[in-house]
Structure 1
Amino acid sequence: MFKKVLIVEDQEVANLGITQTLEGLSISRFEFVTYCDEALQRLKKAAAEKEPYDLLIADLSFEKDHIRQNLKNGQELIREAKKLQPELKVVVFSVEKRAKVIDDLYKIYGIDGFVSKARNDGKELRNTIGKVFEGEIVMSREILNAIRNVPFALNAYDLKLLELLAQGSRQNEIQAYLKDHQMQPHSIRSIEKRLNELRDSFGAKNNVEMIVICKDIGLI
């Protein structure tokens, strides 16, 4: 089992649950920090002393206070931690529900497991840590099914259309933006056509419903 664990979490209640989970796995050497910058410094210090952590458990979002932080969220911490220690195992423990965001954690940031903060999350966290230790990449069936519904074929042009639409831009304003940024096609007719195609792809009745769907799955 893992010998040395670093937990990055700013909620005391969550920390109590994590403590119970780790003790149940007979992991006795673990440390808590509440800031991502401090976590990275501890990772660097441990690596320099040839006593690296072998598991990082991290939340994604942290409450802001008067202490200025260079690393703004868990994603930035994970990115820097992996640069420092590529073999480090990472489990994210978060309330995040957006499928695209979670999928990016695996594909872009290289995490090994994701556990949703919810009822019975202690059991899921324990099972996930055990499987990650055995070398598995752990993704729950619920998350996997949600990710399968994300239309990854969307390109930069499509995402910009959706983003502008979500901001309340009208078609003439979208056209002006596309022209200014040399994005093709930018005719009103082409914009209308692509929005119709996107609504069909999402199974949305109108633009409002399409934007709601996109926000739910973390595309915008």
Structure 2
Amino acid sequence: MLNRVLIAEDFESTNFSLQKILEEFGVQHVDFVYYCDDAYSKIRKAIDDNAAYELLVTDLNFEEDHYIQTLKDGEALIDASKKLQENLKVLVFSANDKSGVVDRLVKQYDIDAFVRKARSDFKNLKHALQAIQKNEKFFSENVRHSVRKLNTFEFSTYDIYLIDLLAKGVKVKEIPAFLEEKKIKPFGLSSVEKRISLLKDSLDLPNNAQLVAFCKDLGII
């Protein structure tokens, strides 16, 4: 049974709704904050007080205001919190379900659940809490679909660097010079052209502009 949960959500109405769901679920102690720095401080203090949180529920995007924050978003909060408390479970509740973002959260931080803010999101939140309580993972259907889309092609670091250069307006014929400067191989023009062509063919994209747009949508670049 989950007993101690911390919510990090900057929208007051969503924050309140999350509190109600957790209370209905039987969580005895629910704390909430509107800023990532405050969440980190609470997690650190809870550890010091020997009353660590079991679960962090956080959004990814936090609007900036006049309060200057060290931790700018939910991913930075997850990263910092996991370094403090490795066994802290994390449920991400966010509209930002780009495949690259979700994939990174799973691989780098081993998050326990991701529920996209959408229709039926509160029902999915309850499913996520049930799964976490059983030490299982939960990802809402639209998130699973998004990740499957990403996994249809395995992007290498080399691929991402090429696409990032294209996104910055670097022409294909100019890319070899950038690669050679960074000592990234292969840097021959023929190799670069073949790799970009393979990426477009594999993803069924007609041109470089759509390749860049596709990868931006996925959150890869």
TM-score range with shorter-chain normalisation? over 0.9
Aligned to 1:158: 159
TM-score w.r.t. the length of structure 2 is 0.93
Aligned to 1:197: 198
Structure 1 residue 90 and structure 2 residue 73: aligned?
no
Between the aligned partners of 1:21 and 1:93, the Cα distance in structure 2 is 13
Unaligned 5+ runs, structure 2: none
- 2:91 aligned partner, one-letter code: V
| Matched-pair contact (CA < 8 Å) for 2:127–2:138 | no
| Matched-pair contact (CA < 8 Å) for 1:75–1:109 | no
Note the alpha carbon deviations across 1:133-156, whole angstroms, 9 max, x for none: 111011233322321222553222
When structure 1 is superposed on structure 2, of 145-154 and 122-131 the one drifting more is 145-154
| Matched-pair contact (CA < 8 Å) for 2:116–2:140 | no
How big is the shift at 1:45?
Answer: 0.9
Note the alpha carbon deviations across 1:38-68, whole angstroms, 9 max, x for none: 1111111111111111111011111112222
Aligned to 2:120: 120
How big is the shift at 1:21?
Answer: 1.0
TM-score w.r.t. the length of structure 1 is 0.93
How big is the shift at 1:168?
Answer: 1.6
Between the aligned partners of 2:127 and 2:198, the Cα distance in structure 1 is 42
Between the aligned partners of 1:156 and 1:110, the Cα distance in structure 2 is 21
SS at match of 1:149: helix
Note the alpha carbon deviations across 1:97-121, whole angstroms, 9 max, x for none: 2112112111111211011111221
**Aligned residues: CA RMSD:** 1.6
In the TM superposition, structure 1's runs of 4+ consecutive aligned residues that sit over 4 Å from their partners are none
- Count of matched residue pairs: 220
Aligned to 1:212: 213
How big is the shift at 1:122?
Answer: 1.2
Aligned to 1:147: 147
Between the aligned partners of 1:103 and 1:14, the Cα distance in structure 2 is 25
> Percentage identity across aligned positions?
40
Between the aligned partners of 1:133 and 1:90, the Cα distance in structure 2 is 12
When structure 1 is superposed on structure 2, of 142-151 and 101-110 the one drifting more is 142-151
Aligned to 2:187: 186
Between the aligned partners of 1:186 and 1:83, the Cα distance in structure 2 is 37
